[in-house]
Structure 1
Amino acid sequence: MKDIDIGPANKGKFQDPGFTADGAPRATVALEGLRTLWVNTGTLCNITCANCYIESSPQNDALVYFTTQDLAGYLAEARDLGHPLEEVGFTGGEPFMNPQIIAMARMALEAGHRVLILTNAMRPMMRPAMRAGLVALNREFPGRLVLRVSLDHPDPAVHDSERGAGTWDVTLQGMRWIRDAGLAMDVAGRAGVSESEAEVRDGFARLFAEEGFAVDAADPAHCVVFPEMDLTVEVPEITTACWGILHKAPSEVMCASARMVVRRKGAERPAVLACTLLAYDPEFELGGTLAEAGRPVALNHPHCAKFCVLGGASCSG
């Protein structure tokens, strides 16, 4: 039995990678070609959110700082394996806590890849050295660097209830600096259980217009709105029949084109995970190399169903 908490609502489900609780064959996703390499820069963060999927905080160093040496090895392996790598995404924790983030971003850009950095746009990003580094990268590699800012909600009170009192104001200051520095910016927020995604996007559209942020609130590629990652909610398991029922292809799921690399505290080498959402479940650790991580991924977790396949739909029909 799995020892990872999947919530009481899903008790008895998501146990066998081959079959669902009712005996149906579980859906799997093959790696069709690595297009996005996610780098977890470390789980340390300057704030502690109320509902962080990776439990980042100023104390959590379960994933320690990734290094330029670590990244160089994976970029070389991706090239040697012939992967069509297009983008390197940096996530955390807060990536700007990692002292090598600018150097790692430069390494990825010099290798010809686009770079996406997820950030809360707060004080770690706003340190003078980080700001100078970002400006230099944007000047040297125009159009290839994007910062995706975590702004949980267009309502400051809702945002602060998740991230802490006063965090809205600090994040807005960082976003204004990004705007004024001419850097490309995306936004990632959340939709609560009592509101629709459309309502959240409308609120973001008003905010972006007021602030002069060049972000299209209606475009999910540039304004990402996630549902809350609530393990108390029951979700259906994904069977092989679901693809046809949902009219969705396995190639549309993140793990068909992406992997995440991490360095666990005390580990001898970095590890490759199936995706960004499942940092601690050993079932989704695929080895230490990209070659080892090329095998299919069984969709054996509630996050696989809720976030990557269903998107609010149901395959129970």
Structure 2
Amino acid sequence: MTPTDPAVNTANPADATSTRTDPAARAAALYRAVFDPSADPSLRGLRGRFDRMLDEFPLDDTDVVDEITVAGRPALTVAPAGGGTGVLLWFHGGGYVIGSPAGYRHLGSALARVTGRTVILPDYRLAPKYPFPAAPEDATAILGEVLQAHPSAVLGGDSAGGGLALVAMTALRDSGGALPTAAVLLSPLADLTGTSASVTEHSATDPAVTATSLADIRAAYLQGHDPADPRASPVFADLHGLPPVLVMAGGSEALLDDARTVADRIGEAGGTVELVIGDGMVHVWPLFESFLPEAAVAMERIGGFVGAVQTVG
């Protein structure tokens, strides 16, 4: 690929409506149950529904889960049976207001399986109690400490966690720090302005992210801060000098343009980037790999990308 022309793949691995209609509908229904406007509107209620959705997914009972502390923050590690070869640091999603390492154990388990690495799931501070810039400060400190111990670690994140991964990498780059060997961004929330065409186009049908939910995130997380600040919306950051990046987004999600713009700007800055668009897929569709065929294929794609990293640390 040329630096200014990211590789773009429209993924439809099932290639048959009959094989994806029911599982895809189930994934959308799970999101709708979490963000049901008639349910308990409190933050506690929303966090509980999100974690309960994640708890429905299976864990590999051979995984080894431990509690650690990274840069002063609690974290979980999920290692495949026999131990991982290398480390994958993963920032969970949840719009900077929900999500937890415990809730993301199942995704950590799947990532450990496909990459063969020990997955670190840190507990960064959440809004509204800890508004911007608490999350990027935590993410940058956590990434820096992980890289000190594991210089060839891979970085990843989904949704808000994908945005945090970008912000942390640019912060370390600007300070002269080390960078991860590669990065994986799933449906990154990289533009909090909410002005992209895909937000307008897909808000009515996206079960997870809408223009309204982005406005709620701005209110809770930014609390009046400029949403175009590159530390909040890394689509506005200088994205030169980053390691190889895999960006994945659902073709039917509101954050599709966030992913496209991130990939374009990394490519324009001379970086190596691969953009995978899941045809008809929802936000962070690899999350549903236990029952959605396209998600299982996407997870294998992630494993292949990480496996191509030559140096392990």
TM-score above 0.5, yes or no: no
Higher Rg: 1
Structure 2 length as normaliser, TM-score? Answer: 0.32
Q: Give the structure with the larger helix fraction.
A: 2
